[in-house]
A and B are shown apart, each in its own frame.
Chain A
Amino acid sequence: MKNILRQHVEHQFAEELAQLEKWDSGKRPENWKCTPRAVLMYIMGGKLPNGFEISPKYIGNSRLIEIAIATLCTDRALLLYGLPGTAKSWVSEHLAAAISGDSTLLVQGTAGTSEDAMRYGWNYARLIAEGPSAQALVQTPIMRAMEYGKIARIEELTRMSADVQDTLITILSEKIMPVPELNIEIQAVTGFNVIATANNRDKGVNELSGALKRRFNTVVLPTPETIESEVAIVYQRSSQLMAQYELPAEVSVLQEIQRIVTIFRELRAGVSIEGKTKIKSPSGAMSTAEAISVIQSGMALAAHFGDGLLSAEDLAAGLVGSVVKDPVQDRVVWSEYLETVVKTREDWRDLYRACKAIPL
């Protein structure tokens, strides 16, 4: 069998889900694979009474996940909202896997997503040959989720144009999908719900209409709370990808990760890590995901063009590129940060010099 590059999470964590199901004895909402409390345990991790370890899928505040699960219990749709790179899609995938056992009912929102992708399409060959019929109808993931009482996922909701977004209104408020061509409607079965993700920082997003906003409960996933948890996330993901792309492994990476994560957190929070100096924030999101990519490109640079050891020079270009997104505003922010924070740290001299060497 071929190696699948990325498996669905319900397969990847099948063992955990099976173990949870054995232990989980409470009352389940209709068509749910687990009780809400078991879903929480699956996402946040923990230990089952029989000693089986459930790995944590989300490192952060468990209250947010509780709100998300409780929302899905109340048949209101859930909108995971926040900066890019805060594990929104990751959480959505795991929630769908734990609740419906199926994370594949997915519509990816892009500027080109059409109404057909949200409601239903037609098999035109059949449509022309037989006229409108149930056989000529092409079902979308949302339609199937309604039929089987499962969770449908919509990624990057705000990337879709506003009229396509609004097709959700009927589905969310009436829980039906009319097919006027056949004079029928699909009524959602209990257990159906929608998890959408959207980010509030990227340029070129289409703001949700008020009518649609009202139909969602919104949970904002924040950036990691402590530096330790962020370093842990970055380290975990970098080493995964390092192995995946077969980049050479190397020891002192953790130290560089700490520096990069510190810089990202400081610029994001607008205050230095000791809390002494305030700092302006750049226009970019400075997300954890970006920190991961700075580290990775630094590693690749070190491996292919350097001596294999991750140094300040390897990181500087990626770092400056990820901070300075706007040539005027961010440049000021970055020079100020270099002069008032980086320069003052004795053991950061190499980084200061490396960054100064990058023309802005």
Chain B
Amino acid sequence: MMELHILGIRHHGVGSAKHVRARLDELQPDLILVEGPPEMDVILPFVFDPAFQLPVAALCYDEEAPQFASFYPFSVFSPEWQAIQYGLEHRTPVKMMDLPLSHLWQMQRMNQNPEPQPGQDPIAEFARAAGFEHGESWWELHFEQAYRPGDARQHFEAVFLMMHTLRNQGIKTSLDAENVIREAWMRHIIRSALKNNVANIAVVCGAWHAPALINLDDWEKSDQKLLKSLPKSKIKVKSSWIPWTNSRLSLHSGYGAGIHSPGWYRHLWENPDDSGALWLSKVAQLFRTQKMDVATAHVLEAHRLSMALAALRNKSRPGLQELNESVVTVMCMGDEVLLNLIRNELIVGNVLGSVPENLPKLPLQADFESQIRALRLPLCAEAKEKVLNLREALDLKRSVFLYRLHILNIPWARPVESSGKGTFKEIWELQWSPEMMISLIEKGIWGNTVEIAAARLLNDQALQSRNIAQLANFISLAIPAELYSVLGHLLQYIHAEASVSSDIQELMQTVIPLAGLGRYGNVRKSDIQAIETLLGGLIIRICIGLPNAAFGIDGGGANNLLNIIKDTHRALYVLDHTDWWAQWLDALSRVSTRTGVAPLVSGGVNRLLLDARVLNRDAISVRMHLALSRANEPAESAAWLEGFLDGSSLLLLYDDNLWNLMHVWLSELPENDFVALLPILRRTFSKFEPAARNQLGQKAKTGVTMTGESPPDRTHNFDTNFADNTLPFTLQLLGFNHE
């Protein structure tokens, strides 16, 4: 007598896993068939290795094009994992019975793969009838949370019956078209097992497939026809195990079924009888490690509330939702922010799995090795310096590759500050150590090639960063690493952060590198546009906020601010955008006239306005007069002067008006004040060139210069023809190609 038992499960379902285990113990099958690609069969024996720490994922990839890959994550509460474990423990053969990936990918590449159609969650039908919002929570309550030992058979019969009813009603799901082929293949595998006289077969598959895997003979003809129509495939699929994380268990990949609360499931798996008290104690302990006072009384009250909530909602015992709500209400003063902590630490759980070392090689590793061969960058244990000339194609590729590794945080190559400001030269120090390979393998979860992995990792880091300066730094990494796909995202994040930032200096510091980005010829057009939009928004904010930002800051702060203002001024000048420039000058004008602005900044801004010809000489001398008025604190006047002169003596040498103002102010300073101001004056004047200082000294000897004496008429006796001779060479110096 041949027996076929279909165990319909939910992927990563705790209750399903327990029932599978119990049912297999009852059935003692001769063969276990599990939903999953047959390419995985070769790596199943490794599962017994004690070095395995869950969660892990089976990785199947196309050997020639590793970007075609599927992950099949498992945790201890995955029914499939339990089935595989059972098989290995009892020496029962386990086989994967899904459609081979080589066929699936071939169909995808030939565009034969049926597009997923919009469908619905079939279980939602039942859930709605029972008054639940989502299918998920209904299923969880009835099939996952409640586990009663001894009724595994009934459980699977109930699941089977339910799915049978739903499928008979003709409910469409989004994967229907693909499922037709997959189920035909599964039936085909089961049929051939039966033909080989296997007496007792257990099939572990997604609940939805269960009703399609009986009455095999009725399907035989149509299945054969369908499977014959499958395209021939030459794709070689390789498989391996890789470490997985709980947070990535919630991703949709492979089985297409993510779960949102792996940590909670694990708790249920380990403590099937917990009514919530143990979970709440774990929460309390977590809070205590974060220095929050949570007493046993809190746990007790939260437990009572969760029970009352479950009763109000007609549930036999509190689920995760009731427990969360109780925690927020009783322990957190209704503040849901703390729930994030619980979510990260407990509900999802910061768990990283690990796999044995003797596994087949991973695609990222393979990609890395093929690239270092192609780029002729050997792995050496001793430190070596490598100078790259970016004008050479090979060196440029090397640089891009090294930047990507840098992003991946693989410390093989370290950038060394290259002397001089030549942008064509890069120096890297290379030193390899074996741990780096492990670090590389860990990055396998990010992608199968160095490029993809670097891009994803960078994107993820940027997503978590709240710091504008850091984001700007990411941009400056993404460009030399040629990760243009990430650039757009980075710009978006910066945009989001910059919009809420009220730190004007930070915003200006973001503008400065962004303004330079257009220089890179191979940045995409769309990104350039995004940069422009972003810049536009930033500049509006800066211009509105600048007058306030310059208000009431101390000496060091003023110095910083002035430097940033000058850098921004330069960056905007280079950008040469009429509107922005006008807005910026307008903002500077407002700063320059506002009282209470740090005098150093005020002086510096006035200088910028003078140079930009917003203010003329007359206006400036009025301002200077005002700044050097007797009523002002001498120290403030000196600071203003320092900012205004900006390390250059020309103004004083050639504008007698300004010279006289300063001269009078300085000579009329009371002795005490003069001595007190000496350091700051010295700082101001010592920045001048020695020759200029000399000239100024000469000028100071004569004291106040009479108007009209100066400036000397330099057009007198001027030989224009002679002067013209210098023009070609000057142009050449300035970088114009003067043919």
Q: Is A76 an interface residue (CB 8 A)?
A: yes
B:476-510 near A, CB below 8 Å: 495-500, 502
Flag if A220 contacts B335 (CB, 8 Å): yes
Would B305 and A332 count as touching, CB distance under 8 A? no
Residue A328 CB within 8 A of the other chain: yes
Q: Does B313 lie within 8 Å of A66, measured CB to CB?
A: yes
A280 on interface, CB distance cutoff 8 Å: yes
A70 touches B544 (CB 8 A): no
Q: Which residues of A contact B332 (CB under 8 A)?
A: 218
Q: Within A215-252, which residues are at the interface with B (CB < 8 Å)?
A: 217-220
Contact of B334 among A70, A220, A340 (CB under 8 A): A220
- Assess whether B499 is in contact with A278, with CB atoms less than 8 Å apart: yes
Q: Return A30 CB to nearest CB of chain B, in Å.
A: 15
B329 and A336 form a contact (CB under 8 A)? no
In the complex, what residues of A have CB within 8 A of residue B329's CB? 67, 71, 217-219
Q: For the complex, what is the distance from the CA of A63 to the CA of B537, rounded to whole Å?
A: 40
For B308, the closest partner residue in chain A by CB is A70
B290 to nearest A CB, angstroms? 16
How far, in whole Å, are A339 and B308 apart by their CA atoms in the complex?
Answer: 51
A153 to chain B, nearest CB (A): 18
1/0 contact string of B545-562 vs chain A (CB within 8 Å): 100100000000000000
Chain A residues closer than 8 Å to B293, beta-carbon distance: 210
B430 to chain A, nearest CB (A): 42
Beyond A81-B333, A340-B537, whether A67 also contacts B305 by CB under 8 A is yes
Q: How far does the Cβ of B299 sit from chain A's closest Cβ, in whole Å? A: 12
B308-334 contacts to A (CB < 8 Å): 308-309, 311-313, 325-326, 329-330, 332-334
Known: A74-B304, A280-B500, A332-B502. A218 touches B333 (CB 8 A): yes
A81 to B500, CA, bound (A): 26
Residues of B contacting A279 in the complex (Cβ-Cβ under 8 angstroms): 499-500
Q: Are B334 and A81 in contact (CB under 8 A)?
A: yes
Which chain B positions have C-beta within 8 A of A82?
334
Which chain A residue lies CB-closest to B321? A63
Q: Which residue of A217, A328, A329, A336 is within 8 Å of B305 (Cβ)?
A: A217
Chain B residues 294 to 314 lying within 8 A of chain A, measured CB to CB, are 295, 297-298, 301, 304-305, 308-309, 311-313
Q: Is B469 an interface residue (CB 8 A)?
A: no
Interface: A214 (CB within 8 A): yes
Contacts A67-B325, A220-B335 known; A332 to B548 CB distance under 8 Å? yes
Most chain B C-beta atoms within 10 Å of own C-beta, residue among A40, A217, A277: A217
Partner of A63, one of B325, B333, B497, B541: B325
Q: Which residues of A contact B541 (CB under 8 A)?
A: 336, 340
Docked pose: A40 CA to B500 CA in angstroms: 39
Chain A positions 47 through 63: 1 when the CB is less than 8 Å from some CB of chain B, otherwise 0: 00000000000000001
Q: Whole-angstrom distance between the alpha carbons of A340 and B632 in the complex?
A: 39
Q: Which residue of B lies closest to A221 (CB)?
A: B334
Q: Are A214 and B312 in contact (CB under 8 A)?
A: no
Tell yes or no: A109 within 8 A of B by CB.
no
Say whether B377 faces chain A, with CB atoms less than 8 Å apart.
Answer: no
Minimum CB–CB distance for A36 against chain B, Å = 5
Known contacts A74-B304, A76-B301, A220-B334; decide if A36 and B312 are in contact (CB<8 Å). Answer: yes
Contact present for A70 and B312 (CB under 8 Å)? yes
The listed residue (A36, A278, A328, A329) touching B500 by CB distance below 8 A is: A278
- Tell yes or no: B65 within 8 A of A by CB: no
User: How distant is A225 from chain B, measured CB to nearest CB, in Å?
Assistant: 14
Cβ of A220 to closest chain B Cβ, rounded Å: 4
B313 touches A335 (CB 8 A): no
B530 to chain A, nearest CB (A): 12
Cβ of A28 to closest chain B Cβ, rounded Å: 13
Q: Please, what's the 1-or-0 string for A308-320, where 1 marks a CB less than 8 Å from any CB in chain B?
A: 0000000000000
Interface residues on B, range: 20 to 34
The interface residues of chain B lying within 8 Å CB-to-CB of A332 are 502, 544-545, 548
Tell me, yes or no, whether A111 is within 8 Å of chain B by CB. Answer: no
| Residues of B close to A45: CB separation below 8 A | none
Cβ–Cβ < 8 Å partners of B500 in chain A: 270, 278-280
How many chain A residues touch B (Cβ–Cβ < 8 Å)? 34
Interface string of B324-355 (1 = CB under 8 A from A): 01100110111110000000000000000000
The reply to whether the CB of A73 lies closer than 8 angstroms to some CB of chain B is yes
Given A63-B325, A66-B309; A217-B545 close (CB under 8 Å): no
Residues in chain B near residue A36, CB distance under 8 A: 308, 311-312
Shortest CB distance A209–B (Å): 13
CA distance A280 to B500 in the complex (A): 5
**A214 adjacent to B334 (CB under 8 Å):** no
On whether the beta carbons of B312 and A66 are closer than 8 Å, the reply is yes
Is A138's CB within 8 Å of the partner chain B? no
Q: Does A8 contact B (CB under 8 A)?
A: no
Contacts of A220 in B (CB 8 A): 334-336
Mark contacts of A324-351 with chain B using CB atoms, 8 A cut-off: 1 yes-contact digit, 0 otherwise: 0000110010011001100000000000
Residues of chain B with a CB closer than 8 A to A328's CB: 548
B293 to chain A, nearest CB (A): 8
* Contacts known (A67-B309, A73-B308, A74-B305); A340 close to B540, Cβ less than 8 A: yes
A69 proximal to B (CB < 8 A): yes
A215 to B240 Cα, complex, angstroms:
54
Quick check: B312 and A213 within 8 Å, CB to CB? no
Interface string of A279-313 (1 = CB under 8 A from B): 11000000000000000000000000000000000
Q: Are B499 and A277 in contact (CB under 8 A)?
A: yes
Q: Check if A336 sits within 8 Å of B312, measured CB to CB.
A: no
- Contact present for A214 and B298 (CB under 8 Å): yes
> Any chain B CB within 8 A of the CB of A37?
yes
Whole-angstrom distance between the Cβ of A90 and the nearest chain B Cβ: 17
Q: Are A217 and B544 in contact (CB under 8 A)?
A: no
Known contacts A71-B305, A76-B305; is A335 also within 8 Å of B544 by CB?
A: yes
- With A66-B309, A71-B305, A76-B301 as given contacts, are A219 and B334 in contact (CB-CB < 8 Å)? yes
B304 contact set on A, CB distance < 8 A: 74, 76
Residues in A neighbouring B545, C-beta threshold 8 A: 332
Contact A336 B334 (CB under 8 A): no
Closest chain-A Cβ to B101's Cβ sits at a distance in Å of 37
Which residue from chain A places its CB closest to the CB of B294 in the assembled complex? A214
Residue from A69, A79, A218, A280 whose CB has the most chain B CB atoms within 10 Å: A218
Distance of A328 Cα from B336 Cα, bound (Å): 31
* Closest residue of B by beta carbon distance from A272: B499
Known: A217-B330, A336-B544. A70 touches B309 (CB 8 A): yes
- CB-based nearest A residue for B295: A214
Q: How far apart sit A79 and B330, CA to CA, in the bound complex (Å)?
A: 10
| Complex Cα spacing A67 to B301, Å | 13
The residue on B at minimum CB distance from A208 is: B333
A69 to B304 alpha-carbon distance, docked (Å): 13
Query: In whole Å, how far is B374's beta carbon from the nearest beta carbon of chain A?
Result: 42
Within 8 A of A (CB), among B276-305: 293, 295, 297-298, 301, 304-305
Residues of A within 8 A of B548 (CB): 328, 332
Chain A residues with CB under 8 Å of B333's CB are 81, 213, 218
CA distance A155 to B498 in the complex (A): 40
CA distance A340 to B293 in the complex (A): 44
Evaluate whether A69 and B544 lie within 8 angstroms (CB atoms) in the complex, with A220-B335, A332-B502 already known: no
Given contacts A219-B334, A277-B499, contact A70 B298 (CB under 8 A): no
Q: How far, in Å, is B472 (CB) from chain A's closest CB?
A: 17
CB-CB under 8 A from B313, the residues of chain A are: 66
Query: Are the CB atoms of B496 and A278 closer together than 8 Å?
Result: yes
Known: A71-B308, A336-B541. 14 other contacts (CB 8 A): A67-B305, A67-B309, A73-B312, A74-B305, A76-B330, A214-B298, A217-B301, A218-B329, A218-B333, A270-B500, A280-B499, A280-B500, A339-B544, A340-B541
What 6 A-B pairs come out closest when comparing CB atoms?
A: A278-B499, A218-B334, A220-B334, A70-B308, A70-B309, A73-B308
Complex A-B: 5 CB contacts under 8 Å? A67-B325, A71-B305, A280-B499, A332-B548, A336-B540
B interface residue numbers (CB < 8 A to A): 293, 295, 297-298, 301, 304-305, 308-309, 311-313, 325-326, 329-330, 332-336, 495-500, 502, 537, 540-541, 544-545, 548
